[in-house]
Structure 1
Amino acid sequence: MTYVVTEACIKCKYTDCVDVCPVDCFREGPNFLVIDPDECIDCSLCVPECPVEAIYAEDDVPEDQREFIALNAELAKQWPPIVERHEPLPDADQWAGVKEKKHLLQR
């Protein structure tokens, strides 16, 4: 089992999760983070660090977010690793509670 970043991260990109990851499995895109399923060791340290509750164990991903399992795997192959925390996107707080943002994902 791996962990998965879901839609809530889009346009926020808080990186608190990156700081606690012992294996540097996060990858960074323009407005979203993903977890590389080949690198994740299922430690769950990232889950409580996400202020928008965007990270789930693969088996616990909500039904309406299941497509993010494949999306994390796909984008992890394309995006570079992120190994240090940095500031969230400038308007992250405004987007934190917004639902249905998948169409805003930048690849």
Structure 2
Amino acid sequence: MIVKDWCMFCGECAGVCPRNLIEVKESTLIFDESECRDCSTCVKVCPITALEKE
């Protein structure tokens, strides 16, 4: 997953990740790539398309 510069840190992606791998703290998106299974749920739910698959 790539987080583009225009991420608003709204937390929508964190709320839908089936493996709970995304966390929003202050103005930072914390993502555990090692456990990601590329389901793209977070990418699909992002309201401003700030996320994309590599």
TM-score, length-scaled by structure 1:
0.45
**Does the alignment pair 1:32 with 2:28?**
yes
- Which AA in structure 1 matches 2:49? E
Deviation at 1:56, TM superposition (A): 0.8
SS of the residue 1:46 aligns to: helix
Structure 2: how far apart are the matches of 1:39 and 1:27? 14
In the alignment, structure 1 segments of 5+ residues that lack a partner are: 59-107
Structure 2: how far apart are the matches of 1:5 and 1:39? 17
Structure 2: how far apart are the matches of 1:32 and 1:53? 17
Distance change >3 Å, CA 46–CA 18, structure 1 → 2: same
User: 8 Å contact 2:13–2:46 — kept in the other structure?
Assistant: yes
Higher-strand-fraction structure: 2
Larger-Rg structure = 1
The corresponding residue for 1:15 is 11
In the alignment, structure 2 segments of 5+ residues that lack a partner are: none
Q: Which runs of 4+ in 1 moved over 6 A?
A: none
Deviation at 1:8, TM superposition (A): 1.3
Aligned length: 54
Structure 2: how far apart are the matches of 1:28 and 1:15? 6
Distance change >3 Å, CA 4–CA 36, structure 1 → 2: farther
TM-score, length-scaled by structure 2:
0.78
Aligned-residue identity in percent: 35
The corresponding residue for 1:5 is 3
Deviation at 1:4, TM superposition (A): 2.4
